[in-house]
Structure 1
Amino acid sequence: MGSGHYFWAILYFASLCSASLANNAKINFREKEKKVLDQILGAGKYDARIRPSGINGTATYVTVNMFLRSISKIDDYKMEYSVQLTFREQWTDERLKFDDIQGRLKYLTLTEANRVWMPDLFFSNEKEGHFHNIIMPNVYIRIFPNGSVLYSIRISLTLACPMNLKLYPLDRQICSLRMASYGWTTNDLVFLWKEGDPVQVVKNLHLPRFTLEKFLTDYCNSKTNTGEYSCLKVDLLFKREFSYYLIQIYIPCCMLVIVSWVSFWLDQGAVPARVSLGVTTLLTMATQTSGINASLPPVSYTKAIDVWTGVCLTFVFGALLEFALVNYASRSDMHKENMKKKRRDLEQASLDAASDLLDTDSNATFAMKPLVRHPGDPLALEKRLQCEVHMQAPKRPNCCKTWLSKFPTRQCSRSKRIDVISRITFPLVFALFNLVYWSTYLFREEEDETF
């Protein structure tokens, strides 16, 4: 066997020995880690029921930070929202100090929270919540050599969010996440936000009907009969996405109102068509309004969407009443026309009878008043003076009368004039309402918008 073969054999044997020594070192290191855990958390050495004392025996300070992983839904009807987050707490417990073996042991890891003392924090506006246990419980505890403890857990919460819906759907909502101590007062336990960036939000956060504009951390300590308790809160400002409501509510309502105006252009004698159009649009608008209200809580104040649907429903109902007025005016015109016709027939019959009477008794004489008065007659002079004064009086131009004069009574009945006036009046009033509505709600500053 050559010298080259001896060299490779020695090298292979050396590598096996080094690997064996490394494995033994790792085993010995884990053994040392186990011994450290037994030393600080062994039976009779550490009591998790006792609160760690702060500096000079003061309150224990717990630093809090969190990472918002997702916001699944914001429910307007129940006034709540769901969030999934990674929650972290950090505090110092002098009893958990250990030797880091010259910097080799950076921290100890635990998965059982009951092994060490834990702050009694709870979410005060929580409705429901649960931990995540797939595949393993999403929780860990790190103990650092200086006695600092880091507790991290992933949880899902459903939190209450009282909403002010006066500007719905042009509103902004502030939803809070509140955390407080349940039993320890501020003399014993104080929660603090971590300096720097205490709250982090996932970058690709997606909400179907809202946009998270900003958030702010603050303190909300509460005083009760039993003392003052430390409290932290996060205010989340959500802006409602208006495009969904524009397509689903506002544009369909406008279309229904415009369709109801088609009856103004139909013939007044087309009773079935005009009645069917008015009733159909009225029922559709009522159904649209009830569907909108079904997704909202029954609040005691008027919302912006209530004003819109109420006015649109009034316009549709007004178009139906307009046809009732047109129908009544048409029947009144027909009645007057029949009365005039009967009067003319009676006058013609009386004239015919008088002419027959004159023919039969042509020799009879009648004392009749003159049909035309002489110029010197005082009554004739008075009438002439009144006519001259009326002709000399200045006439003021009136746009409405000028426009209505295009539809004289003889050529256009009263019912037709009502239709013509409605064709102009309804769109103008609806356009004026839109101007007032959007200028009021779009440029109105909400009182609760500022933090």
Structure 2
Amino acid sequence: MGSGHYFWAILYFASLCSASLANNAKINFREKEKKVLDQILGAGKYDARIRPSGINGTDGPAVVRVNIFVRSISKIDDVTMEYSVQLTFREQWTDERLKFDDIQGRLKYLTLTEANRVWMPDLFFSNEKEGHFHNIIMPNVYIRIFPNGSVLYSIRISLTLACPMNLKLYPLDRQICSLRMASYGWTTNDLVFLWKEGDPVQVVKNLHLPRFTLEKFLTDYCNSKTNTGEYSCLKVDLLFKREFSYYLIQIYIPCCMLVIVSWVSFWLDQGAVPARVSLGVTTLLTMATQTSGINASLPPVSYTKAIDVWTGVCLTFVFGALLEFALVNYASRSVTTYKCLRILYIQQL
């Protein structure tokens, strides 16, 4: 009998455990998420117009940490002095009004796709010319709310940014293109942007640019003061090195060949006037066309570029070869005329 009682007790305990596990398995966490969202974002409970408090609930400025992932850089335009970049932009801050119960660690975070439901930093790109969001198939944006009130905002955007360039060493130059992000309306008394600790900027590994190489990038701060206050600002400096091989093949080698061809006239007979004139004029016009084609792909700057010095020297050599023929021809005709006059003078004597 004793063993029978033990058997029924164990069976009863097992049935209770099974029922408990079944009840836990039946918990609908999606329904829990809805209830939590209604609890923290319901009408009259959360006002997205009010900024979060400072660190540890103080009255100081709200701290927003930023990090970006550069997905691609499509072009760097010398004429318009701009570049296009696609990136994943992320911001993270703490809003204590959004704290919730994580159900013993089972509810890791809540996900939103509507940015207007919570307070958002008023960040803008100060050197932006054009930009757009990505909405295929759905808007590429999300907001994650963690149990401790931490908010993560992530969005994929494409931007065309201004990049003032110094082309004095073109095409042996290096250019620094910046990405500047600043607060538009909140001053540093209310909002401060900081770079995320540990690798705040990431670049895709297989980044390919046809005429440039991304050597390195640096993060820094660029707070600005105006007559309305001081505004927090972040910047990324991208250092690009121009690839020289393209210009070696397209510009330097053809210019050298034109100069060498113009020197062929030195080995022609001085009496071969049509051949020497045709060769000199043709190489001079070709060199002038090459120079104008190079300048057409560059902005009209007020200073002399390295490529201008190179094409100017090549053009001088080609023109000098043509001028040499003219001087030699003139000198030879002068000598011939002098000899003829001398012979006539001797005959008259």
TM bin (shorter chain): 0.7 to 0.9
Q: Secondary structure at the match of 2:276?
A: helix
Partner in structure 2 of residue 268 of structure 1: 270
Q: 1:34 to 1:57 in 2, by over 3 A?
A: closer
Partner in structure 2 of residue 154 of structure 1: 156
Q: Secondary structure at the match of 2:319?
A: helix
Q: Secondary structure at the match of 2:46?
A: coil
Distance 1:450 1:6 in 2: 157
Structure 1 residue 27: deviation in Å? 6.0
Distance 1:19 1:258 in 2: 95
Structure 1 residue 53: deviation in Å? 1.2
Distance 2:38 2:190 in 1: 28
Q: 1:310 to 1:18 in 2, by over 3 A?
A: farther
Q: Secondary structure at the match of 2:198?
A: coil
Distance 2:244 2:348 in 1: 20
Alignment deviations for residues 231-261 of structure 1 (CA, whole Å, 9 cap, x no partner): 0000000000000000100010000001000
Distance 1:8 1:151 in 2: 56
Normalized per residue, which structure has more helix?
Answer: 1
Q: 1:5 to 1:238 in 2, by over 3 A?
A: farther
Q: 1:14 to 1:330 in 2, by over 3 A?
A: farther
Q: 1:180 to 1:23 in 2, by over 3 A?
A: farther
TM-score under structure 2 length normalisation: 0.88
Distance 2:6 2:291 in 1: 94
Q: 1:26 to 1:175 in 2, by over 3 A?
A: farther
Count of residue pairs the alignment pairs up? 333
Normalized per residue, which structure has more strand?
Answer: 2
Alignment deviations for residues 275-331 of structure 1 (CA, whole Å, 9 cap, x no partner): 000000000000000000000000000000000001111111111111110110111
Distance 1:85 1:261 in 2: 53
Structure 1 residue 56: deviation in Å? 6.2
Structure 1 residue 129: deviation in Å? 0.4
Distance 2:95 2:300 in 1: 51
Alignment deviations for residues 7-66 of structure 1 (CA, whole Å, 9 cap, x no partner): 9999999999999997994662211110000000011111111111113665x0000001
Structure 1 residue 160: deviation in Å? 0.4
Distance 1:36 1:166 in 2: 60
Q: 1:39 to 1:252 in 2, by over 3 A?
A: same
Alignment deviations for residues 166-214 of structure 1 (CA, whole Å, 9 cap, x no partner): 0000000000000000000000000000001100010001000000000
Q: 1:274 to 1:23 in 2, by over 3 A?
A: farther
Partner in structure 1 of residue 251 of structure 2: 249
Q: 1:247 to 1:143 in 2, by over 3 A?
A: same
Q: 1:275 to 1:105 in 2, by over 3 A?
A: same
The answer on whether the counterparts of 2:193 and 2:233 sit within 8 Å (CA) in structure 1 is: yes
Specify every segment of 5 or more residues in structure 2 that has no aligned partner in the other structure, as ranges: 334-346
Partner in structure 2 of residue 121 of structure 1: 123
Q: Secondary structure at the match of 1:233?
A: strand
Distance 1:256 1:300 in 2: 28
Q: Secondary structure at the match of 2:209?
A: coil
Distance 2:273 2:9 in 1: 110
Q: 1:87 to 1:5 in 2, by over 3 A?
A: farther
Give 4+ residue runs of structure 1 displaced > 4 Å after superposition: 1-27
Q: Secondary structure at the match of 2:164?
A: coil
Q: Secondary structure at the match of 1:35?
A: helix
Distance 2:252 2:34 in 1: 68
Distance 2:265 2:2 in 1: 112
The answer on whether the counterparts of 2:75 and 2:84 sit within 8 Å (CA) in structure 1 is: yes
Q: 1:10 to 1:291 in 2, by over 3 A?
A: farther
The answer on whether the counterparts of 2:57 and 2:96 sit within 8 Å (CA) in structure 1 is: no
Distance 1:218 1:286 in 2: 45
Distance 1:173 1:258 in 2: 33
Q: 1:245 to 1:7 in 2, by over 3 A?
A: farther
Q: 1:226 to 1:12 in 2, by over 3 A?
A: same
Partner in structure 1 of residue 52 of structure 2: 52
Q: 1:154 to 1:23 in 2, by over 3 A?
A: farther
Identity in percent? 97
Q: 1:144 to 1:212 in 2, by over 3 A?
A: same
Distance 1:222 1:4 in 2: 83
Partner in structure 2 of residue 36 of structure 1: 36
Distance 2:348 2:95 in 1: 40
The answer as to 2:343 corresponding to 1:450 is: no
Q: Secondary structure at the match of 2:295?
A: helix
Specify every segment of 5 or more residues in structure 1 that has no aligned partner in the other structure, as ranges: 332-448
Q: 1:261 to 1:22 in 2, by over 3 A?
A: farther
The answer on whether the counterparts of 2:55 and 2:63 sit within 8 Å (CA) in structure 1 is: no
Alignment deviations for residues 374-429 of structure 1 (CA, whole Å, 9 cap, x no partner): xxxxxxxxxxxxxxxxxxxxxxxxxxxxxxxxxxxxxxxxxxxxxxxxxxxxxxxx
TM-score under structure 1 length normalisation: 0.68
Partner in structure 2 of residue 204 of structure 1: 206
Q: 1:122 to 1:8 in 2, by over 3 A?
A: farther
Distance 1:103 1:450 in 2: 125
Question: After superposition, where does 1:62-101 map in structure 2 within 5 Å?
Answer: 62-101=64-103
